[in-house]
Copies of this chain bind each other. A is one copy, B any other.
């Protein structure tokens, strides 16, 4: 069933049918209803490929994920994607995923642009200085960055959260509780957000005149095991931290497990604060009685919003979209408490 055939059946021109279905104003209300009903009855759905060619819109958005040593798709990315999907579904866009070896990443962007396969892309895992921003600008391909570069925060659209602020606040909170040795269990430091969190952490320490001890700063892929191992290593060290700040709730859970294994009480012997991306399948206690003291921001909501921003950019290229930096809640749970009295 094609538009033309449907039009013939209705005794109308393809033009009118197209307009009726696409909600253009210049068609009689009655006619529109007639067309819509006929379309439904005939089970007519416009051919995507034809629509795309005619409009010059691919109605698709690309996500390119580099193949790396660790998990191909980590839980945070998965959750972000799920959020983005909602926006895509609503706006009739498809999500195109390209899993590619790292060294071919640029080629894929070039190819997507040249072949007009997607209308835009979302950039993940931004690095401190990220060549993709320049590349996509050159390619004139609309894009939204999840996070933002550390050296360049103008000239492109991004959606980020106040990582530095959040971690500064969390660190400050721990310091106020009397902690002097605070471990930072960061995400991979090559990534922009980790760098910002480090800055927030350091800045809080410095404001309180506390030393920054390299031994208390770790970075890595944010898994449960990483949290466990890191915590264990610290506990076994000469001067273990009395509090820990984690970049993800997964690592925080790992760290908490390490404490439990050692018979240490969470929030008493050792405090743990963490960032919480609000992964859909991990409850941090209840809404009003969280387990972990945490800086909270839904990564899924970020996905939905970033996708929406990109779609806006594509559909209204003239009106420049505003970047957004979300505030982050700090909620207080049972995982943090006053620093234990020094033993020595």
Contact = CB atoms under 8 A, between A and B. Distances in A.
Nearest to A79: B72
Given A72-B82, A115-B48, A96 B96 contact: yes
A255 to B, nearest CB: 15
Interface stretch (A97-105, A129-137, A156-164, A183-191): A97-105
A63 B79 CA distance: 16
A27 interface: no
Contacts of A56: 49
Contacts of A67: 82
A46 interface: yes
A113 to B, nearest CB: 9
Contact of A58 (B48, B82, B261): B48
Interface residues of A, number: 42
A31 interface: no
A94 to B, nearest CB: 5
A95 B98 contact: yes
A280 B72 contact: yes
B58 A81 contact: no
A53 interface: yes
A111 B46 CA distance: 10
A342 interface: no
A70 B224 contact: no
Contacts of A117: 48, 94
A224 B94 CA distance: 33
